[in-house]
Amino acid sequence: MPKVIGYDPVDLGYGGMINYSSSDNNKVLDDVKDGDYPTPPPAGDPYWSSVTTLLQEGLTDASNKSANASAVGSVTTPTMPSGSAPVAGTTGIYLDTEGEGFTIPASNIVDFGTGDFTIETWMYPTIAETNAVYYLFDFRGTTNHYCYINSSTKKIVTPQGNWTPSNFSWNAWNHIAFSRQGTNMRIFLNGVLINNSTMSTSFGNGVLHWAKRYTGTASTLQGYYDDFRITKGVARYTQAFTPTAVEFPIGDGIGSADPNWGSVISLMKFEDNYTDDKGLLTWTATDTSFNASGKFGKAVEFNATSDRLDSNTSSLWTWGTNDYTIEMWVYWNSTGAGSYRNLFFTKAGGTEYLQYYIDSGNNFYVYNVTGGPLHNFGVAATIFPYQTWFHLALTRESNALKCFVNGTQKGTAGTITANVDATEGVVGRHISLARGWPGSVDSLRVTKNVARYTGNFTAPTADFIP
């Protein structure tokens, strides 16, 4: 059996070359000399946790960030041109009219700052070659950036300059990648480096318009698009490579312990920080502290008056009439009646938003700010263990509201018809009143569009992981 010296990056299935710049090539050769074989990489994407958008079958995001694209105009998702699609997917995105395109909305998805990133896609331009300008993308945020193609001169134009690649084809598939590493901005067309320029632009929270200009009905780069991918924090391509004609992989090849990870909008563990492991939201703490005796390591502690956590404004909190699951480990220090104690609050962006709280009569309620109290799950001192950690899950399944404590449903199911249009999340306190939670919270997870628990279940015994 022949020795294995290395792995052809074309055959790895990552959609291009893996950057092995930190690998010790001499060590690999020594291993081969000694009769060993280098361990092959997993059959997945090693940068999967950094993928913020992956469009493979239309505009639905297949990444772990749930960043669906929005159509502009009559965007269709047909089968790719027969016999010519570069990837294994059956459908893609088709633009055949001026003004059409799609957008990635303002969010942390494209909030690159001055960090590394990669934006790439396969494209099959069908527009006639005329003396016109066709936009590949137009980013509008705190700083604007763009790239367009002049179909007459065949130049690709960005604020850094313009270049005339010799390998661009109309009415054929092309792979294009924009890869920033530090201040080096590289553009690759079909794996060939066509530009390496300096770019220190900070990409703030803005909207990415793809295949069209941000305004107007002209300049659409008409044609087919497939496997559109954004990777935040990683420059996937730093030198020439051969694009692989397979779909970009979903997952890291190791597997996720959470089958609903793609629907999670927030996961916080409170290990001396308020970092959201999902990476979609940022949280601001007011007067909170860390409790060293959390359920798993440390926890965030609230003082029942001013302490709170507030998320940034985001449409991720706009749930409509869809299912959801809010869950966390909870510890509380007060069982007496007489004051309101808010645990979780979704803040107003419209007129229908929710709060979970204990009222002055010591009952645990879910409340619709427009419609009033929705449902009483029972006396808090009866359903919640006192001064001990317990798992709390709050779900909506269709029109049914349920509360589970350590895996057991408490009280009866409530009824909800509210179209939730909140835009922020608040933990540990009322949004405007001094009605705070008297205790601690550990491992908060919010899942949008999924009711994880519909009946009694075995409560988790380990910390949540992606």
CA 163/CA 143 separation, integer angstroms: 23
**179 and 281 inside one domain:** no
Asked whether residue 15 is assigned to any structural domain, the reply reads no
Asked whether residue 464 is assigned to any structural domain, the reply reads no
**55 and 160 inside one domain:** yes
Which of 258-288 are b and which e, b meaning 16 or more Cβ less than 10 Å from the residue's Cβ? beebbbbbbbbbbbeebebbbbbbebebeeb
CA 69/CA 78 separation, integer angstroms: 16
Taking CA atoms, 291 is separated from 55, 205, 267, 277, 463, in Å, by 41, 33, 18, 19, 16
CA 218/CA 134 separation, integer angstroms: 8
The dihedral region occupied by 238, where left means phi > 0, alpha psi between -120 and 50, and beta the remainder, is: alpha
From 232, 253, 286, the end of a domain falls on 232
Residue pLDDT, tens place only, 87-121: 545 678 888 888 899 998 766 678 888 899 999 99
pLDDT at site 28: 34
Asked whether residue 225 is assigned to any structural domain, the reply reads yes
pLDDT at site 446: 95
**89 and 217 inside one domain:** yes
Asked whether residue 237 is assigned to any structural domain, the reply reads no
**81 and 157 inside one domain:** yes
Closest CA to 264 of 325, 196, 222: 325
Number of C-beta neighbours around residue 146 at 10 A: 16
**178 and 316 inside one domain:** no
From 193, 211, 232, the end of a domain falls on 232
**285 and 388 inside one domain:** yes
Torsion of CA 368, 359, 265, 268, to 10 degrees: 170
pLDDT at site 84: 52
**224 and 278 inside one domain:** no
Asked whether residue 457 is assigned to any structural domain, the reply reads no
**408 and 306 inside one domain:** yes
- Which phi and psi angles does 316 have, rounded to 5°? -60, -25
CA 145/CA 143 separation, integer angstroms: 7
Cβ pair 190, 243 in contact under 8 A: yes
Exposed/middle/buried for residue 183 (C-beta within 10 Å: 0-12, 13-18, 19+): exposed
Instruction: Report CA 359 to chain centroid distance, whole Å.
Output: 35
**Cβ contacts of residue 379 below 8 Å, gap of 6+?**
362, 363, 364
Residue pLDDT, tens place only, 176-229: 999 999 999 999 999 999 999 998 888 877 888 998 888 877 788 888 898 899
**306 and 219 inside one domain:** no
Closest CA to 417 of 318, 320, 345, 329: 320
Instruction: Provide the domain count of the chain.
Output: 2
CA 49/CA 252 separation, integer angstroms: 8
Taking CA atoms, 456 is separated from 145, 318, 395, 406, 442, in Å, by 51, 27, 12, 9, 21
- Which phi and psi angles does 206 have, rounded to 5°? -145, -175
Asked whether residue 38 is assigned to any structural domain, the reply reads no
**227 and 368 inside one domain:** no
Ranges in the chain, pLDDT < 50: 1-42, 88
Taking CA atoms, 439 is separated from 148, 177, 200, 385, 432, in Å, by 55, 49, 45, 12, 19
**351 and 421 inside one domain:** yes
CA 15/CA 420 separation, integer angstroms: 39
**174 and 308 inside one domain:** no
Asked whether residue 43 is assigned to any structural domain, the reply reads no
CA 363/CA 196 separation, integer angstroms: 63
Asked whether residue 12 is assigned to any structural domain, the reply reads no
Task: Identify the domain containing residue 79 by its residue range.
Answer: 48-232
Cβ pair 231, 47 in contact under 8 A: yes
CA 452/CA 450 separation, integer angstroms: 6
List the CATH number of the domain containing 298: 2.60.120.200
